[in-house]
A and B are shown apart, each in its own frame.
Chain A
């Protein structure tokens, strides 16, 4: 079965996955600031807004 995934979506998926792997340890460092998860969250939102703006031109 083939599922068509737009390219920006694939990039977003990859970035979320890589960020998840990289950030778990960074967030949980004992001396790290409490708001670190939110920094990662903002980064994901910025990438997502780029990825979805790309898709706007692809309006059905």
Chain B
């Protein structure tokens, strides 16, 4: 096999240039977002796990272990098939707290920067051989294709291009928190290339190598030892531990953690990957056996692992050799790019930042970016230098096994994160120490000290791996149980553990506003960075810059810690937040953060099933009852933080619950603060008819309170207080109106009695005057008598009007049915109006058509006119003009009362006929006038209209229009129509 040097280099460079192109096009938005964010792209990018190990090493594994080579696919597939048990909760955790690597996760859960540092170191030592393995595979295959090509220079060139790519598309000023779409797209493309290449080479092996399935079957029958070795079950001894190795690697290996959690764009993508990735690995495992057998049949002397590259040339179709080479290049480059990116973040956060942190004068983002770039370069080139170590004859399989066994040591720590809250830092560190020591002494040391492959095999690596895991777990469990966890550890265990929804303590913060946050964080981060981080956290939480609620400030603190954790790692972030944004008082009792618990249950709701889901439904039902209660409900914690503010209270106070929940009672605006504070301080549990002023309107409420009993005996006497606020303003107004009307009625009865009593002597006087007029012939005496009679008539009329007015609107059920001459009625109204001294300056113009007559009760119509004129007078200036007109039009009598007053505001126009609605000062009006007018007009078969403003030009004045059926005929017809 001898390819031109230029062909190999050209192919490799061309392929990597294509990768650059895809990543560049994605970053520039040339590829539609629908494609970039599609779950299939995410699933394919997870194919980065199928490195040179799956591509080349599995061929050798298949020869040695038979079906045992499937252990890798089974291990990784199981993690994804069972993603709800491990990956989903971890994804939620890493997204919420911005944990970008396994070291971040360990440091976060075990609350120790050392946990992160040790994790980073172990992974760094374990993974460097894996990087070297990729570089070696690329150089080896290039060497097989073109023997005159220097493998060292090929590896060198490959490393240069990969370094450039990682730096350009894997690092950005935004740090590790953002997704790198270009990178993901390029990795997904690589996964697709290696799958297609491998499947094509596999198909070629069957059809090109054996002439089809029958040929293959025939060849296998001729070589029965191959089938026998394939199905021998002696590989089962290492099969389980091998599967476990790859099961753990799916989370522990930095490249998988990075793509699975950091580049994930939603649970839906993970759901796709849960079956898509097992399918990918299944397809990738399928061609392994045909390629192996075709290679064996060809009699090639090349290392078994590199059969995919060999068979194309062996069967005279060089195209498949090139394809296989490109597939291998994809597998190697994808892994190196992602693994060095992930490792650079880990090294920065857990090895460099704990020792040296940039000062506030630095542009932190720029500083981090450059450090990350330097680290990526260092990591790739350390993999390159690894090839210069002795023992180059160690097989790819041994190197890979050592790497993955290092990752296995994190299995107990990872499982405990989700399922064992008692686990603590000491347990984790001692378990990891024991496991790693076993791994190093029995697996790695023999290799470094002139051991060779055989010595490793003689040590029986899978027994060492199992032993190290058992020792690790044993130390982990025993030390965790025998040592005590700190409060911090317990709190992070609560956050991480799936089934623990404990009541978290709530405390006040020294920083009270977002500006205080910026000021505090400016000291370590500098003004610019602090400003940017706080603004970003506020934006993430959708909280306003002016918010001062303690609850919002606690959320902001948590979000800042998470965001800084994505930038600087969880240990440094926690150190910064604890140091510069401390709690003022740590409450000891009764202040569990109910709002946070509630948010958490809401977020995890879909994870609840069975009785937990029933309990959640019950909780929601009870909460809904309180929220929808037509009474205002406000509940306060024992330290006066507002926990609940229901809808009725929102409507009544016009304060939205989103703005008030989580704030202190003292932050409430007046008059609510005074109202609630006084009531809470008061010993009484109920306060009835409590009146206060709200925006110039009198409001009346009934208040009730109850203490929320504490569930445990510790600490304060109660857990909080619940207050019910009942708005009784309308009932109160109604009651006041009724009692006013009752008073009016009694005054009316009094007036009627008085009028009756005065009426008798007046009648006597009138009789005597008539006698004098008729009996005496003296003209002067007759004149005097006539005047007395006129005056007594007038007095009688006034008294009669008074009596009628007093009777109207009371319980009188019998009304007169007579012909009412509107002009007379208007005159009578004038007489009565001017009796009131308030009306002495009023200019009342009366104009009536003599034909204007209606049938009905004149006294009731009089009452209507009096009320309307009286309202018109009240709305007008002291010397205002009011006109009263009556006309006949189309069998209708139209009466208008027009004033030049201020008019009726549109906002109250709909309510003016409501009983007890008044705009007058208390005591000046009952609010019954217009309502009475309305009902009387209806009784008289008329209708009423109001035009305001009456004068459109000046925007003033009101005109009330009454329309009644006109009377034409005799009284009988009137009676008939009334009866109908």
Contacts and interface: CB of A to CB of B under 8 A. Distances in A.
A18 interface: no
Interface string A1-20: 11111110100110010000
Instruction: Give chain A's interface secondary structure class.
Output: helix
B419 A1 contact: yes
B610 A55 contact: no
Contact of A38 (B274, B286, B604): B286
Contact of A30 (B231, B267, B282): B231
B835 to A, nearest CB: 79
Contacts of A37: 67, 70
Contact of B282 (A2, A38, A56): A38
Interface in B60-118: 67, 70, 73, 77, 81-85, 92
Contact of A13 (B82, B609, B612): B82
B227 A4 contact: no
Interface of B: 67, 70, 73, 77, 81-85, 92, 220, 227-228, 230-231, 233, 266-268, 271-272, 274-275, 278-279, 282, 285-286, 289, 419, 498-499, 603-604, 606-610, 612
Contacts of A13: 82
A28 B233 contact: yes
B274 A60 contact: no
B612 A4 contact: yes
Contacts of B67: 27, 37
Contact of B275 (A1, A4, A27, A49): A49
A6 B274 CA distance: 14
A53 B607 contact: no
Instruction: Give chain B's interface secondary structure class.
Output: helix
Interface string A32-60: 10110110011011001101110110111
Contact of B499 (A2, A52, A58, A59): A2
Given A45-B279, A60-B603, A38 B609 contact: no
A34 B285 CA distance: 12
Given A45-B275, A52-B274, A60-B603, A4 B233 contact: no
A51 to B, nearest CB: 8
Contacts of B82: 9, 12-13
Contacts, number: 88
A20 to B, nearest CB: 10
A58 B267 CA distance: 10
A6 B609 contact: yes
A59 B227 contact: no
B278 A4 contact: no
A7 B606 CA distance: 12
Contacts of B233: 28
The 4 A-B residue pairs with the shortest CB-CB distance in the complex, in nearest-first order: A48-B275, A49-B275, A58-B606, A41-B282
Contacts of A27: 67, 231
A4 B609 contact: yes
B282 A45 contact: yes
Contacts of B274: 48, 52
A34 to B, nearest CB: 6
A4 B271 contact: no
Contacts of B278: 41, 44-45, 48
A3 B84 CA distance: 11
Contact of B81 (A30, A34, A48, A55): A48
Contacts of B289: 34
Given A3-B498, A37-B67, A60-B267, 14 more contacts: A2-B499, A4-B609, A9-B84, A28-B231, A34-B220, A34-B289, A37-B70, A38-B286, A41-B73, A45-B275, A45-B282, A48-B81, A48-B274, A59-B266
Contacts of B612: 2, 4
B394 to A, nearest CB: 29
A27 B612 CA distance: 42
A26 B282 CA distance: 19
B774 to A, nearest CB: 106
B282 A3 contact: no
A5 B84 contact: yes
Given A30-B227, A30-B228, A48-B275, A59 B267 contact: yes
Which of B84, B606, B610 has the largest number of chain A CB atoms within 10 A?
B84
Given A30-B231, A34-B227, A38-B285, A3 B499 contact: yes
B282 A42 contact: yes
Which of A9, A13, A52 has the largest number of chain B CB atoms within 10 A?
A52
Contacts of B499: 1-4
Contacts of B84: 5-6, 9, 55
B271 A56 contact: yes
Contacts of B228: 30
B962 to A, nearest CB: 65
18 contacts: A2-B612, A3-B85, A4-B498, A4-B609, A5-B609, A6-B609, A13-B82, A28-B233, A30-B231, A34-B227, A37-B67, A38-B285, A44-B77, A44-B278, A48-B274, A48-B278, A55-B84, A59-B268
A30 B221 CA distance: 11
Nearest to B613: A4
Nearest to A8: B84
A12 B282 contact: no
Which of A2, A3, A5, A41 has the largest number of chain B CB atoms within 10 A?
A41
Nearest to B281: A41
Nearest to B290: A34
B819 to A, nearest CB: 78
Contact of B271 (A1, A42, A53): A53
B75 to A, nearest CB: 13
A4 B271 CA distance: 17
Contacts of B498: 3-4
B271 A3 contact: no
B50 to A, nearest CB: 15
B231 A55 contact: no
A30 to B, nearest CB: 7
A5 B233 CA distance: 33
A44 B81 contact: yes
Nearest to A33: B217
A57 B934 CA distance: 59
Contacts of A52: 83, 271-272, 274-275
Nearest to A35: B286
Contacts of A7: 609
Nearest to B276: A49
Given A49-B275, A55-B84, A60 B92 contact: yes
Nearest to A9: B84
